Structure 1
Amino acid sequence: MNVEEIDLCPFCSDLVKSTTDSLIPSSQCPHYPTYGLILSSSEKCTICRTITSLWGHIDSILNRHEISKKPIRGCRDEFSVKITTKVARRMPSGASWTLLEASLGSTHTGLTSISYFTLVSCLLGDPISSSAFWRSPTTTFDSKLLAIQSWMFDCESQNGHSKCRPVPFAPLRLLTVGLDGKPLRLVERDTTTIRTDYAALSYCWGNSLQLRTTKGTLTIFSKEVPSKLIPRTFADAIHIARALRIPYIWIDALCIVQDDEQEWQSEATHMSEIYRGSQLTITATESVDSLQGCFPPEKPGLHSAGLFFRTRPNGLDDRSSLVRIYRNDIRDSVVEDSVISTRGWTLQEQLLSPRLVFCMQPDMHWKCQCNYQTQSGLSFEPRMAPDRGGLFLDLNHRLDDLWYRSSWRRIIEGYSLREFTFSQDRVPAIAGMTRYFASTLEDVPILGLWVRSFARDLAWLRGGGRQQMSNTSGLPSWTWLACQGCVLYTIGSKYADYEVQVVEHLKLLNWDVQWQGTPYASPVELAQVKVEGPVREIEIRPFTEGSSHKPPYFQVFGEDLKPTVKTKFPWRCAGQFDTGDASEATIYLCLLLFSETKSSESNYTSEIFLILEPVEIHSTVKYKRIGMARIWGGPPTFNAAKTISMVLV
């Protein structure tokens, strides 16, 4: 066994021992009380070194802070350390998993830092310790194939996994994987076939010029795709499909003729069927392009082989533990810490596929509709699996309508953070998800919003982060798809809250969305909606202290800005302009979307409204959305009985 044996400090030894000894409820774990002491211990203890690396920015902050007038060592000792076990589980496989919170705080400066890390371990001598994953820092391609085969067999053979079955579908074109002994080649869909067994590949295109099918190569590739031209990521995925005895694989660059705009638009609208119909989606989680392969070498850091070790024998049974350390919650590694989850096109692939394998080093993760597993031996039910951006959508069971609409808004928040090589792809890259939700909700989509929840869907807010779109031509101001940056649904009740009574005041009268080609896969030619709702003019005045908050507070109706003993923040209006920030007081026409009251606070009303700007189009006054805000307090600000109709563009 090629695993280094190391010493740990007494506190970290107890952390590992308690992980393998028993199930631990959430609790604070004894550890070094100050940053200075744990930093000193990190010179010899691997886990202490891991913890302090989570706070690597603290010394630079101290150097800029007033407390740094003292010697830096003294500053470190004024920061208290708390290590808390958030969750601990021993799995049926024998592996143990502990999620820990590392908190660093100072009462003198007000500075705090909270980070998370995961310990995964097993006892040397237990059956799982002899598996390929626990025998060495890295695992071979063949051992990973065996793990995938085992997961696939279990999912296909267990009765409780019926909802993991793919939806019958036959894509327009597929690539053979060579099970018939013939060369790899593209095959067209048989018009009499309604179902084909195939795998799908989810990967990053990257900046390199990869192999792709064009009008000029289609005939050649229909006879044979030369193996010497196939990039490593494609080859690895083909190898996996072949090992699983899946005869075909769908790879977008090869199965869609890339210079045929009409075919590309048609296939973009069928992404929901393509991924829902795959037997398995193979995800090249950490590959930046098609050349790196599905299992590129690890980068230095908390996922590196150096953070896999064996403890010295400890305890009455004189047994060692095998330990791996991961930054953050290991369940989030495929959602938040991977290359592929930064890309816009891959979201619907992750959401819609009934089964996925996330190819990574050193660990692989498996997700189906019933389970989430790792190569290390961890296993989570869907309710404990990662759900950042709605990764666990129930694709087969009808859940509450409010749950699905809340899930859509949560997905949009995650999607808006993702990047695109071509900014105009932001609409087609979610066409598959739109198609799926349209069927599930039995509703009509309007550029990322929905007919039956239009007022609530309009209440998106521009968040922070870099501007990600340079081309929003044709997109109307009211859709989040036109937002330059990330989108948040933080104003108003974000998810289904049955204690909040919501009254929608805005009515959608009609809409007109025209496309240059295939809907949701081509540029927008024209888009406008006609709505009716209460309006009033409000002078919105920015002020310095309010601007320091996110979203900013505004002064409205000449309210007193001075804090009182009872009210630390006396302001009652917060919002965000869609581009930039307000610089001076201006009177705006505002349109009420909906209001909220809580049963426990009958005299308290919260009103969510759009900030509008008139625009003249062909001698007709229409309105453009320029921001969104919320005002709360006593009696309603808007007169709900006085409404007007207007066109938003």
Structure 2
Amino acid sequence: MAISNPLCPTCERAFAANDDTTSHHTAAEELQRSVEKGCFICKRLYNKIQELRNAHATGESIDRPLFDEIRYTRQWSGNDWSARNFTVEAFGSYSEIWFDCISKEVAKQLGLRTSLYPSLRSPNSLKQAKVWLEDCRQHHELCNRRLQSTFVPTRLVHVRQLENGSVTSACLVIDTSLPARTPYLSLSHCWGGAKFLTLTGANLGQLREAIPVAELTAVFQDALYVAFQLGIPYVWIDSLCIIQDSPADWEYESKRMGEVYKGAVCNLSASAFKTGKQGLSSERGSHLSGFLPLQIDTQNGSFSTSAACPEDAQFYVAEGSVLRGKPWEEICNGPLFERAWVLQEQILALRVLHFGKREMFWECRQVFANETRASGWASLPTQWHGEDAHVENALGSMGDAFRYHKQRNPLWQFMVEDLESVESSDGLWRRIVRDYSARSLTYAKDRLPALSGVATEFSAMYGRSQYLLGQWSDDLHLGLLWSQKRPFPSSAHALAWPEVPSWSWASLNAPVDWYLYDLTVDSQQDPTSLCKSINPMTEPDSHAMTLIGNLMRLDVPDQNGGPRWFTFDNGSLTLAYWTFFSWQFYLDQWYFDSLQGKDDEMKTHAMLSSVFFIPLLYKNYRQIICLVLLPLPSVGRGIFRRAGILHIYNPAGGVNKNFTPTAREYQKNITENFYQDCDGEGNYKISII
């Protein structure tokens, strides 16, 4: 049955060839009547108004008009492509929505799929997923460079029967009953707060006989359904394949999790959903793909729907986000990408089938695509050979959108096997930590275990370096200089778990970065020259790191009479000694919090009288980066805790690489209880725990 009012007269005028009117509906009653009659554009404008209303709501009753104004701007009009920008002003704010009207020829040239099945759970929808998977397995050279492992997870869920569109039989199988290279899928999902059926020591035998599928959450049921439709009836699901009440089994399996995701044929990702109750799919309804098929009389601007026979459509109206937006933002900004455990699943998985609220997305080394653009963004034409110059303009926008994806998620686009060809492995590790440290964990003790799979892969690629609780031994002169991101979150000062020493970024349950300075090092210098040696964890069962270098403190006056001014802001203290020359301390939150209750001047004096620092990195005669340390005399002689970093900077140059003469000015009152040994040349041996 055709839709009686695909566009209301007001929205039709917006796309009429020679109409310059910019006002839209002026009364709420008009807009609401148009929405009730099914206007494609008005429904989206109304939803946007509701979003602005909800954002404005502060608990009080809102007694004001539904909206202040709706207007549109004619961006361009052509025979093949027209664009309009609608602006909604409501509740003290405004928002913009683009709409495009494209010809059937443009849609064909862009490889657009202009209609989708109403449910992602439809077998017809999953046919596209199967096409992506089989095409990748058979034809993608980059993806198939990874040698298939003989690895099989300890346990897998086996889908044994499918009736009436639902899984009716499944069981748990163990690896000893399966041949090597058994193909299987993996699953990434948010657990959520609700309780659900998991594997325990008590029900292990029962689940090996039969899994009560009806008792599983929607996401598990959907995963089993998808596996069967893809022709790969084995799935690894963490809560059903790891014994949840066995610490020994959890410890063993968590160390193998990287292999699980690396060895899977494809990873199913519930990317847009907060809990397992929401499953992998949603009912999309009509036109949720974003396209309205139309017949348009270009002479008088009259419209008629082609919804009943979309193949007869000559034009399509679509939201601009469908054509020129960033549809993967639904995925990369979704709740699943906020979870720390999921990062290694994203990095190590060879292929990923993402399930969003509107569409499925496919991701592998060679293709990133969704159902609307099944051949992927990389396949977009770079030139338009028709007569409409506006199409060229839109293609440029779509190309920008594809490049945005590449920049937004660079970690998606590499294999661990290709580290040397991507960039230095050390720099890539810091990028991974930057992303990972900002993600959330249910249990703080998982701070390092949740990244262990990626660390294992890195270790296998360059065995020259030892993995040290989130750092690498060959990169310590840079790796130690992480900084906690500002502003400080309220809970970041707490140690994640006591076994992690303060020199590791994993010791804080907080986002970290190395963004304060360029981490490249002049090839003419020895990057460790400012610190005579860094010997990590030299004692058995000890996490202490030993440093030998120019240990200093700032509680003696500068030769020019001390700093000319200082500022203390959000854990950062800047001391300016003369024009443009500054010493900037970036303190870790636990230490900054210990200074609370004092004014800025008292904080400054308290800090300068207690902390020490040791230079680690020299940068091109303008800057030196140091580690800030707090002595722990109650623990032992020469024992320190990391308290932050110090950035010594002079943009005009003149920062001396040889710190020893300067060091002696700041070492006059370093007594024996502050160091373990001294060589008489200004180098002190200390330990950081």
TM-score range, shorter chain: 0.7 to 0.9
2:341 maps to which residue?
A: 345
1:532 maps to which residue?
A: 548
Structure 1 residues 393 and 554: alpha-carbon distance in aligned structure 2, compared to 1, 3 A threshold: same
Q: Give the length in aligned residue pairs.
A: 571
Q: 2:616 aligns with which of 590, 593, 596?
A: 593
1:405 is paired with a residue whose SS is helix
Distance 1:58 1:589 in 2: 48
Q: How many Å apart are 1:590 and its aligned residue?
A: 0.8
Distance 1:252 1:449 in 2: 27
Deviation per CA, 1:318-365, whole angstroms, max 9, x where unpaired? 9432314549732333222x1111111111111110000011121111
1:512 maps to which residue?
A: 537
Structure 1 residues 58 and 38: alpha-carbon distance in aligned structure 2, compared to 1, 3 A threshold: farther
Distance 1:31 1:462 in 2: 53
1:348 is paired with a residue whose SS is helix
Q: 2:471 aligns with which of 449, 453, 463?
A: 449
Structure 1 residues 400 and 502: alpha-carbon distance in aligned structure 2, compared to 1, 3 A threshold: farther
Q: Is 1:476 aligned to 2:501, yes or no?
A: yes
Q: How many Å apart are 1:274 and its aligned residue?
A: 0.6
Deviation per CA, 1:399-440, whole angstroms, max 9, x where unpaired? 258533222212211211211121211221111111111122
Q: Which amino acid aligns with 2:365?
A: Q
Q: Is 1:263 aligned to 2:249, yes or no?
A: yes
Q: 1:313 aligns with which of 271, 296, 313?
A: 296
Q: 1:171 aligns with which of 149, 153, 158?
A: 153
8 Å CA contact retained: 2:347, 2:415 = no
Distance 2:2 2:111 in 1: 12
Q: Is 1:187 aligned to 2:173, yes or no?
A: yes
8 Å CA contact retained: 1:164, 1:370 = no
1:422 maps to which residue?
A: 443
Q: 1:228 aligns with which of 206, 214, 217?
A: 214
Q: How many Å apart are 1:456 and its aligned residue?
A: 0.8
Q: Whose helix proportion is higher, 1 or 2?
A: 2
Distance 1:180 1:278 in 2: 22
Distance 1:555 1:397 in 2: 44
Distance 1:179 1:554 in 2: 67
Q: Is 1:628 aligned to 2:645, yes or no?
A: yes
Structure 1 residues 484 and 263: alpha-carbon distance in aligned structure 2, compared to 1, 3 A threshold: closer
Q: Is 1:488 aligned to 2:481, yes or no?
A: no
Distance 1:543 1:31 in 2: 62
Instruction: Among all aligned residue pairs of Structure 1 and Structure 2, give the percentage whose two residues are the same amino acid.
Output: 19
Q: How many Å apart are 1:115 and its aligned residue?
A: 9.8
Q: How many Å apart are 1:208 and its aligned residue?
A: 1.1
1:577 maps to which residue?
A: 588
Q: Which amino acid aligns with 1:645?
A: K
Q: 1:334 aligns with which of 309, 326, 331?
A: 331
Structure 1 residues 332 and 165: alpha-carbon distance in aligned structure 2, compared to 1, 3 A threshold: farther
Structure 1 residues 639 and 114: alpha-carbon distance in aligned structure 2, compared to 1, 3 A threshold: farther
Distance 1:609 1:645 in 2: 16
Q: Is 1:648 aligned to 2:681, yes or no?
A: no
1:210 is paired with a residue whose SS is coil
8 Å CA contact retained: 1:553, 1:575 = yes
Q: How many Å apart are 1:153 and its aligned residue?
A: 1.6
Deviation per CA, 1:147-194, whole angstroms, max 9, x where unpaired? 211111211121534236754421111111116999411111128944
Distance 1:267 1:433 in 2: 15
2:416 maps to which residue?
A: 395
Structure 1 residues 132 and 466: alpha-carbon distance in aligned structure 2, compared to 1, 3 A threshold: farther
Q: How many Å apart are 1:369 and its aligned residue?
A: 1.5
Structure 1 residues 130 and 120: alpha-carbon distance in aligned structure 2, compared to 1, 3 A threshold: same
8 Å CA contact retained: 1:286, 1:295 = no
Distance 2:140 2:103 in 1: 32
Structure 1 residues 615 and 132: alpha-carbon distance in aligned structure 2, compared to 1, 3 A threshold: same
Deviation per CA, 1:249-300, whole angstroms, max 9, x where unpaired? 101111111112112111111111110100010011122222221124689x
2:184 maps to which residue?
A: 198
2:416 is paired with a residue whose SS is coil
8 Å CA contact retained: 2:291, 2:316 = no
5 Å-filtered alignment, 1:215-294, equals: 215-294=201-280
Greater shift in the superposed pair: 632-641 or 421-430: 632-641
Q: Is 1:156 aligned to 2:137, yes or no?
A: yes
Distance 2:276 2:539 in 1: 36
Q: Which amino acid aligns with 2:527?
A: V
1:370 maps to which residue?
A: 366
Structure 2 gaps, min length 5 = 32-40, 58-67, 304-313, 379-401, 557-561, 661-681
Deviation per CA, 1:567-617, whole angstroms, max 9, x where unpaired? 7xx7563534333366411323111121212xxxxxx42111111100135
Distance 1:391 1:576 in 2: 32
Distance 1:55 1:393 in 2: 39
Distance 2:512 2:195 in 1: 32
Question: TM-score, normalized by length of structure 2?
Answer: 0.69
Q: Whose strand proportion is higher, 1 or 2?
A: 1
Q: Is 1:433 aligned to 2:449, yes or no?
A: no
2:527 maps to which residue?
A: 503
Q: Which amino acid aligns with 1:352?
A: L
2:125 maps to which residue?
A: 144
Q: How many Å apart are 1:450 and its aligned residue?
A: 0.6
8 Å CA contact retained: 1:461, 1:628 = yes
Greater shift in the superposed pair: 216-225 or 290-299: 290-299
Q: How many Å apart are 1:620 and its aligned residue?
A: 2.8
8 Å CA contact retained: 1:577, 1:627 = yes
Distance 1:120 1:544 in 2: 56
Q: How many Å apart are 1:212 and its aligned residue?
A: 0.9
8 Å CA contact retained: 2:496, 2:509 = no
Q: How many Å apart are 1:130 and its aligned residue?
A: 11
2:633 maps to which residue?
A: 616
Distance 1:157 1:122 in 2: 34
Q: How many Å apart are 1:146 and its aligned residue?
A: 1.4
Question: TM-score, normalized by length of structure 1?
Answer: 0.73
Distance 2:433 2:7 in 1: 45
Distance 2:360 2:2 in 1: 20
